[in-house]
Amino acid sequence: MIDRRRRLAALAGGLAAGLVLAACGSTADNASSGGGAGGVKTDKGVTDTTITLGVMTDRTGVFKNLGEALTGGNELWVKDVNAAGGICGRQLALEVVDHGYKADTAKTLYPQLEPKILGITQLVGSPVLAALKQNLIDDNVLTAPASWSSEILNNPNVMMIGTTYDLEIIDGLAYLQQQGLIADGDTIGHIYIDGEYGGNGLRGSKYYASKHNMTVQEAKITSTDNDLANIVTGLKGAGVKAIVLTTTPGQTASAMSNNAALGLNVPVLGNNPTFDPALLQSPAAASLDKLYVAASSAPFSSKTPKAVEVANEYKATYPDKPKNAGAQAGYVESLVWQAVLEKACQNGDLTRAGVQTALKSLTSVTTDDLVAPLDYSIPGAPPTRGVYIAKVDQNAEGGLTEVAPLFTAPDAQGYKAPHQQS
Amino acid sequence: MSEVTVTPPETEAPPTPAPRRPRNWLKIAGVTLFLVLLVLFPVFTGTDVAYLKAGQYVLIGVVGAVGLTMLVGQAGQLSLATPFFLLVGAVSYAVLAGDSGDSGDLVGLGLPPVVAAVGAVVICGLVGLAFAPVSGRLRGIYLGVASLSLVFLGLYLGQSLDMLSGGTSTGRPPPTFAIFDFRFANTEPAPTILGVAVQKQQRLWYLFLVLAIGAYLLARGAVRSRIGRAWRAVRDNEAAATAMGVHVTRVKAGAFTISSAYAGLAGVMTALWLDLVKPDENEFVGTYSITVAIGYLAMVIIGGLGSIPGAVAGAVLVNGLPQLLTLGATEFGWFADARFGGPSPVLISAFVYGVAVVLVVMFEPGGLAAIGRRLAHVRAARPTRGGDRG
Amino acid sequence: MNTFLQLVLNGLGKGAVYALLALGFVVIFKATEVVNFAHGSLVLIGGYMVYATKDALGWPAAAALGIVSAALAALLIERLLIAHARNADVNSLALLTIGVDVIITEEIVRRLRADIPFIGDPYDAQPLQAAGLTVFRTQLVALIVGIVLITAFFLAFRFSSWGVAMRAQAENREAAALMGIRSSRVTATAWLLAGALAGVAVLFMATQDFSGAGLGRGTHAIALIAFPAAILGGLDSTVGAVVGGLIVGLTEALSAQYVSFEFSKSAVFLVMLLILVIRPSGLFGTRELSRV
């Protein structure tokens, strides 16, 4: 009494699927090793004419605004490099996939992407990076993550582009103290998203507090908690003199709004991802003026010449894309890749192992001041320690004006990152 | 695939014996062919393991959904707690088999992986049993929402107990699964089947396949046995069941325990599939989130409440479709305009299973299982409700 | 002390909105014994209409349109789907609403694209401060609107013919039908009302003051937090919905400060669990008798 026809249908479906899959399977893995054009050694992702880099971004999930801008930055760089004749006699190409900030989706996409690429120039999402950590190590895929947490530096395949979150906060607090907004012995509040991002920021404020006899009042939240009224009420009760945020932009708005509404009115320090220009259109806009942003890359409206150039090119190429610092961050991610590729080309080795070797030999990658010079020679250490400090400005494009370019606090110099080896 | 055949003869008019024999042969041939195809699946996918990963993900769904359909469909207890038990299963495996981590701040007992996997399943069963004071007292929607609190509790505990879970920052890697000396990892040299190397992903596929088939057969056995009859008696009428001598509270607690153990096994599989145990950052999006709870419920509704083969079909649809669409999206350039508000794989999958749930409840409460039966028996005169549950 | 008072104020203000949401669950459950899992998507429909039309029509007209849209959407779900699923029992119908909820939510979120619009223009982010305490204007307006609506609801429930019919139907469906009460009309009205309540609630939910976020997936999620409010009060008790809403709001605010913020959401569910273990039908719910 079982249905024969249903099972037959299922079998037919299974067969058809199997054939399709078999067809897919036969086309995969076209990588070959050995000598390429110009006597350069290559393996995956590099042919005689093309170098392909992967982009695993978020175009449909919670970080789609950031993902779009980063991808735009990556694409601009490819355009610029190819116009200038490419690298190592080869044109650059990107293979872009969208995981929607979901680790399970990324886990499935990765094996499809991996054979086609040399390395990854943008990988959005700490859950995604965590899920792919072992894959990246096993396949030796050098990756520039769109995450600036020093916690991930124990992965030798991570190429950090700029200053890490902990250092952003240390520099930022030092700046507030330098401006006389906080003093030794104060209590400061820190609202952070539990996870690699927020936890790394908290490490920074704890370190700074320990050096300056401050007390940190911690409040842990998840990435979807947007109403921070009860937390700010509690911080007010604890008498904090400043609030540090490692949050999403929406949460920043709530913290700022309640900071004003509850009559607390203390300065607030956020790092790169806490601010989005879209906040200036929200009901919290009027309360944002107390927000300082310490960021490893220049704000969208930065006066740094290269930043202006990238911003203008970005606006001209992508009039519809969101305007945020992701554009420059994406561009700079790829610029560092460029330095690595050029070095690897010089060494005559564009294999995955070759780019790793090239990276470790770089001690001062300059990016036209989009980020501070980067030193990749110390395993586990952030490649730089300087930040741009900006303040919210309704009139500036991108909503921020720089108040201190490339600021490095003495405390930041002495800080030892969690996986730093020397 | 065929529990309809087991309907006790005394409650059914005896079928005409003539067509029985050829039908059984066909059935055996069909099942064999189907199994052969599943075994050969890694050969079809070849080196393109992306489709193999998608297949593994479906098998995880199969184990979870089979466990849930017993609880919801057979025993009549609504549960949205599946993601919680997935989390408990994954964390338990990592704790039992793992070590103390690079920095030594994790709890790890270093047991052999097989022992750890079994232990994780047992732990989930016990946690499910501990929920008995609630699951035994509440019914229907009240139980559904009460079980939802476990998902919130799981999120909180996962974040707080980072010596167990590894914390939301980095999580912790689950130890490589191994049966004695056979490791489910890449090795050189590797055995081959028809020229395809059986490496980590192929090995995991076979492991998951064996687990899923085992889970399926066990569930079918339970449903056909005394246990299954007690579940259905409690589902249909608690008072009547008591009158017939069924210990209602015990039966309810038992169903929750078994279903939790199934979800725990799916959790162990999830950990191995992701190569990672990591609590979610929030309760709505993630591996152990409310979205997953709704997804599992959708699997068992679409498949037909209580039907074991139906749960398999539901898992294929709910877990398989988004994965296939995502792979197709990059392979064939589908959904290029997703970011401009166009359809995305997630959106289309959600529409498909949302619509499927609505249609099933409206027109065919027996779900895909009943539809399949209809197609097979043109004479489908039997009422759909409870058809495949007997 | 100020901190405590402020937290109580925060909690009561949010509780008023939870109560409006919980009342929506209760109205439908009383009339039909169906739990409407699609309530969150009704909230989204109302909010989306406000967002889509407020620039053209102005806020008051857009708000009215939002309420009407949510109400009509609820009516459509009942007339087109629920009413036609005659063979399904109430638990299956609840599952049906899950399917509806998934579809509507994904569609609205897709339509919103990158936007997370705030829709509380007249009152949002304009706090009132006095004696070191702050009252969020959104919550104050919500409280007043809530009190007015809930009072009106109680009066209608007690004195109008619809209220009598509905209570009769809730008491005994067959007997009510025999006495000439048109079940379909009572049911349809209940859905219409619940939808309107969702449309009102969203005007306060998608604000800086209440949720800190504009309309989006998060708004939908808040409706889920209102579930415990309805359940712990008792799904068939209107008083229970109001008390449940306030309990949820206060539990959230106080546990955030005195235990920890990340515990506050679990706390709401744990309080609900505790109440259910003691009273399986909630604080004010009628005890279900075993029918043989």
Residue A273: what pLDDT?
A: 82
In this prediction, residue B22 has a pLDDT band, given cuts at 50, 70 and 90, of low
Written as six digits, the tokens of A255 are: 């913290």
What is the rounded distance in angstroms from the CA atom of residue C209 to the CA atom of residue A42? 57
For chain C, give the mean pLDDT: 87
| Beta-bridge mates of residue A191 | A219, A245
Q: Which helix (H) or strand (E) holds A70?
A: helix A64-83
B2 touches chain A (CB under 8 A): yes
* Closest-CA distance of chain C to residue A284, Å: 7
B152 touches chain A (CB under 8 A): no
In this prediction, residue C180 has a pLDDT band, given cuts at 50, 70 and 90, of confident
**Per mean pLDDT, which range of A118-132, C154-168, C183-197 is the poorest?**
C154-168
Asked whether residue A50 carries a pLDDT value surpassing 80, the answer given is yes
Question: Which among A60, A80, A46 is positioned nearest to A330, based on CA atoms?
Answer: A80
Class of domain A37-163+304-384: alpha beta
Closest partner residue to A3 (CB to CB) among B102, B201, B372 is B372
In this prediction, residue B336 has a pLDDT band, given cuts at 50, 70 and 90, of low
Residue A292: what pLDDT?
A: 95
* Closest-CA distance of chain B to residue A23, Å: 8
Which residue segment(s) compose the domain that C185 sits in?
20-219
**Are C256 and A230 inside 8 Å of each other by CB?**
yes
Counting one residue from A and one from B, how many pairs have CB atoms under 8 Å apart?
197
Closest partner residue to A231 (CB to CB) among C2, C211, C261 is C261
For chain A, give the mean pLDDT: 85
Provide the number of structural domains found in chain C: 1
In this prediction, residue B4 has a pLDDT band, given cuts at 50, 70 and 90, of very low
* Closest-CA distance of chain B to residue C185, Å: 20
DSSP string, A293-322: EEESS--TT--SHHHHHHHHHHHHH-TTS-
Residue C70: what pLDDT?
A: 97
What is the rounded distance in angstroms from the CA atom of residue A365 to the CA atom of residue A374? 5
* Closest-CA distance of chain A to residue B304, Å: 15
Mean pLDDT of B327-353: 74
What is the rounded distance in angstroms from the CA atom of residue B45 to the CA atom of residue B58? 15
- Enumerate the residues of chain B whose CB falls inside 8 A of the CB of residue C292: 237, 239-240, 243
In this prediction, residue C288 has a pLDDT band, given cuts at 50, 70 and 90, of low
208-267 of B, contacting A, C-beta below 8 A: none
Mean pLDDT of B39-66: 90
**Are A282 and C214 inside 8 Å of each other by CB?**
yes
- List subunits contacting chain A, requiring 3 or more Cβ pairs under 8 Å: B, C
A45 touches chain C (CB under 8 A): no
Closest partner residue to B153 (CB to CB) among C100, C266, C290 is C266
Is residue C75 situated within a structural domain?
A: yes
Cα of first residue to Cα of last residue in chain C, in angstroms, is 55
- Enumerate the residues of chain C whose CB falls inside 8 A of the CB of residue B361: 85, 88, 92-93, 95-96, 99
Mean pLDDT of A128-153: 90
B54 touches chain A (CB under 8 A): yes
Residue B13: what pLDDT?
A: 41
Asked whether residue A316 carries a pLDDT value surpassing 90, the answer given is yes
Asked whether residue B3 carries a pLDDT value surpassing 70, the answer given is no
For tokens 């999006």, the residue is B285
**Are A25 and B47 inside 8 Å of each other by CB?**
yes
Chain B residue with the nearest C-alpha to that of A129: B170
What is the rounded distance in angstroms from the CA atom of residue C120 to the CA atom of residue C203? 6
93-112 of B, contacting A, C-beta below 8 A: 102
**Positions of CATH 3.40.50.2300 in chain A:** 37-163+304-384, 165-295+388-414
- Enumerate the residues of chain B whose CB falls inside 8 A of the CB of residue A111: 48-50, 52-53, 201
Query: Which position has the higher pLDDT, C221 or B334?
Result: C221
Is residue C172 situated within a structural domain?
A: yes
**Per mean pLDDT, which range of A29-38, A234-243, B331-340, C54-63 is the poorest?**
A29-38
Written as six digits, the tokens of A352 are: 């995955």
Query: Which position has the higher pLDDT, A156 or B1?
Result: A156
Mean pLDDT of A261-271: 92
Is residue C164 situated within a structural domain?
A: yes
Query: Which position has the higher pLDDT, C68 or C110?
Result: C68
CA dihedral B324, B329, B333, B339 (to 10 degrees): 160
Question: Which among A160, A408, A406, A172 is positioned nearest to A307, based on CA atoms?
Answer: A406
* Closest-CA distance of chain B to residue C100, Å: 6
Query: Which position has the higher pLDDT, C174 or C41?
Result: C41
In this prediction, residue A325 has a pLDDT band, given cuts at 50, 70 and 90, of confident
Asked whether residue B304 carries a pLDDT value surpassing 80, the answer given is yes
- Enumerate the residues of chain A whose CB falls inside 8 A of the CB of residue C109: none
* Closest-CA distance of chain B to residue A369, Å: 30
| Integer CA distances (angstroms), B219 to A220, B66, C91, C230, in order | 42, 7, 23, 35
Closest partner residue to B301 (CB to CB) among C95, C228, C276 is C95
Determine which of A60, A222, A230, A251 to mutate to test the interface with C (most C C-beta atoms within 10 Å).
A230
Residue A38: what pLDDT?
A: 63
For tokens 């609801």, the residue is C153
Chain C residue with the nearest C-alpha to that of A66: C114
Residue C238: what pLDDT?
A: 85
DSSP string, C124-187: TT--EEETTEEE-HHHHHHHHHHHHHHHHHHHHHHHSHHHHHHHHHHH-HHHHHHTT--HHHHH
For tokens 């669409």, the residue is B325
Contact of B388 with B300, CB cutoff 8 Å: no
Most confident residue range from A10-14, B44-48, C233-237: C233-237
Mean pLDDT of B331-350: 71
- CATH code assigned to A165-295+388-414: 3.40.50.2300
**Are C102 and B353 inside 8 Å of each other by CB?**
yes
**Are A112 and B283 inside 8 Å of each other by CB?**
no
C183 touches chain A (CB under 8 A): no
Query: Which position has the higher pLDDT, A52 or B200?
Result: A52
Determine which of C59, C208, C219, C224 to mutate to test the interface with A (most A C-beta atoms within 10 Å).
C208
As a whole-number percent, the residues of chain A with pLDDT over 90 amount to 51
Asked whether residue B220 carries a pLDDT value surpassing 90, the answer given is yes
| Beta-bridge mates of residue A187 | A215
Residue C287: what pLDDT?
A: 65
For chain B, give the mean pLDDT: 84
| Integer CA distances (angstroms), A217 to A40, A192, A229, A241, B239, in order | 55, 11, 16, 11, 55
Residue C44: what pLDDT?
A: 96
CA dihedral B293, B297, B300, B304 (to 10 degrees): 180
Asked whether residue B380 carries a pLDDT value surpassing 50, the answer given is no
In this prediction, residue C182 has a pLDDT band, given cuts at 50, 70 and 90, of confident
Asked whether residue A15 carries a pLDDT value surpassing 50, the answer given is no
Residue B2: what pLDDT?
A: 37
Residue A9: what pLDDT?
A: 45
**Are B354 and C269 inside 8 Å of each other by CB?**
no
Closest partner residue to B362 (CB to CB) among C96, C217, C228 is C96
What is the rounded distance in angstroms from the CA atom of residue A374 to the CA atom of residue A366? 7
For B78-104, how does the pLDDT look when each residue is reduced to its tens digit (9 = 90+)?
A: 899 999 999 999 999 999 998 887 667
Chain B residue with the nearest C-alpha to that of A224: B282
For A336-384, how does the pLDDT look when each residue is reduced to its tens digit (9 = 90+)?
A: 999 999 999 999 999 999 999 999 999 888 888 888 889 998 889 999 9
Closest partner residue to C208 (CB to CB) among A64, A234, A284 is A284
**Are A61 and B285 inside 8 Å of each other by CB?**
yes
For tokens 């306030």, the residue is C246
Closest partner residue to B149 (CB to CB) among C35, C84, C273 is C273
Asked whether residue B230 carries a pLDDT value surpassing 60, the answer given is yes
